[in-house]
Amino acid sequence: MNISFNTLLQKENFTKDDIVRLLKASGEQEKALFKRSHEVKLEHIGNKVYFRGLVEFSNICKKDCLYCGIRATNKEVNRYDIANDQILKAAKFAHEHKYGSIVLQAGERSDPAFVSRISQLLRDIKKISNNELGITISLGEQSAETYQKWFDAGAHRYLLRIESSNAELYNKIHPNNEEHSHATRLKCLQSLQDIGYQTGTGVMIGLPFQTYDDLANDLLFMKKFDIDMVGMGPFIEHDQTPLYQYKDQLMSLNERFRLTLRMIAVLRIMMKDINIAAATALQAIDPLGREKALKIGANIIMPNITPTQERANYLLYQNKPCIDEGADDCTNCMEARINMADGEIGYGQWGDSLHYKSRH
């Protein structure tokens, strides 16, 4: 016989079937799930929300992921690569406005010139901020040597979404070639963790072919891998990508949104002290999407501080928010939003994953 939903919420370890049941919750049960995850969050990490100023500095990418708007073969994208001095300016902005950290994100490239450019950039950011800015990077799959170089140059967190823990599903949403291999992605995550990065991963929610079992396995994967940080968001179809052809088979946007919130809630209960980001893609569906995620279990928000003129060219998915806003507008608006979600901004603090600290 099934245990009651409230008893389930109090369990220490969820099985896959438990997770599926939680992910399918609606109405009063969904409310109870969100209440529980909110409690767990307050008890284990408090109500502080940490800023990560996001600089999407280039949309040049060698990968051709079937879901992504900036995939290499999309000829309709204006490619850009923001110069280092502009990136440093954004970093300075973040530092002056007491954002504890920044995230440098770009399409994937691994030529030697790119690798050394990033090392230099990392050192410069450390220098201009008196070592005060935390730096997360999200630059895709690289060799262990490259990861080590960037770590030595000052990056201490890395985001690399596994996209799906199911290799079969992964293969369906990527071209079938060596450049896009699930095994490589896993190996990369392992090197990042071995080197000593705070390691972040994540998945897209509501992908074509994805099942509740897949999503439950994704959460179990994160727990087993003992990740420190997570960013997961709804899949949003982009009409210049191959996956767009499945648009009629997808869950509604609203369902993808709710399911993402439930994924965050369940993960918060499973991994009480990790950092969970309120993904920007949530805001593409609901203007208050990220705030809702903060209330439920997320504790990280990534205000976009990319120079405004380039924002419209970094469209991984459509309807991306804030592409017309300058960084200053974003800060003000963000503060009001976070207060509304009962959160308190951890100004000037790195906001490292407590989970990482407990592992080291």
Answer yes or no: are the C-beta atoms of 69 and 77 closer than 8 Å: yes
Q: Give the binding range for ligand 5AD (CB under 6 A) out of 39-47, 233-241, 286-294, 320-328.
A: 233-241
User: Cβ contacts of residue 56 below 8 Å, gap of 6+?
Assistant: 105, 106, 304, 306, 310, 311, 314
Minimum distance from residue 216 beta carbon to ligand FES (Å)? 32
Q: Give the binding range for ligand 5AD (CB under 6 A) out of 164-172, 219-227, 235-243, 302-310.
A: 235-243
State the Cα–Cα distance between residues 162 and 309, nearest whole angstrom.
30
**Residues written for the chain:** 360
Residue number closest to ligand FES, CB atom: 333
Does the annotation place 333 within a ligand binding site?
no
- Tracing tokens 């309120």 back to the chain, one arrives at 278
In terms of CB distance, is 25 or 70 closer to ligand 5AD? 70
State the Cα–Cα distance between residues 326 and 261, nearest whole angstrom.
28
State the Cα–Cα distance between residues 257 and 344, nearest whole angstrom.
24
Minimum distance from residue 342 beta carbon to ligand 5AD (Å)? 27
DSSP 3-state assignment of 66? coil
Q: Give the binding range for ligand 5AD (CB under 6 A) out of 73-81, 84-92, 234-242, 296-304.
A: 234-242
What does 68 interact with, of ligand 5AD, ligand FES, none (CB < 5 to 8 A by kind)? ligand 5AD
Query: Which residues of the shown chain bind ligand FES in the complex (CB under 6 A)?
Result: 322, 325, 329-330, 333-334
Instruction: Determine if 215 is a binding residue for ligand 5AD (CB under 6 A).
Output: no
φ, ψ (nearest 5 deg) of residue 50: -105, 140
Answer yes or no: are the C-beta atoms of 144 and 195 closer than 8 Å: yes
What does 161 interact with, of ligand 5AD, ligand FES, none (CB < 5 to 8 A by kind)? ligand 5AD
Answer yes or no: are the C-beta atoms of 219 and 19 closer than 8 Å: yes
# binding residues, ligand 5AD (CB under 6 A): 12
Largest CA distance in the chain: 63
Q: Which of 8, 40, 61, 68 binds ligand 5AD (CB under 6 A)?
A: 68
Q: What is the DSSP string of 124-189?
A: HHHHHTTT-SEEEEE-----HHHHHHHHHHT--EEE---B-S-HHHHHHTS-SSTTS-HHHHHHHH
Site for ligand 5AD in 284-343 (CB under 6 A): 316-317
Joined tokens for residue 278? 């309120």
In terms of CB distance, is 306 or 353 closer to ligand FES? 306
State the Cα–Cα distance between residues 234 and 239, nearest whole angstrom.
16
In terms of CB distance, is 1 or 336 closer to ligand FES? 336
Site for ligand 5AD in 194-213 (CB under 6 A): 204
In terms of CB distance, is 210 or 304 closer to ligand FES? 304
What does 14 interact with, of ligand FES, ligand 5AD, none (CB < 5 to 8 A by kind)? none
Which residues are annotated as part of the binding site for S-adenosyl-L-methionine? Answer: 163, 185
Which residues are annotated as part of the binding site for [4Fe-4S] cluster? Answer: 61, 65, 68
- Binding residues for ligand 5AD, rule: CB under 6 A, are 67-68, 161, 163, 204, 233, 235-236, 238, 281, 316-317
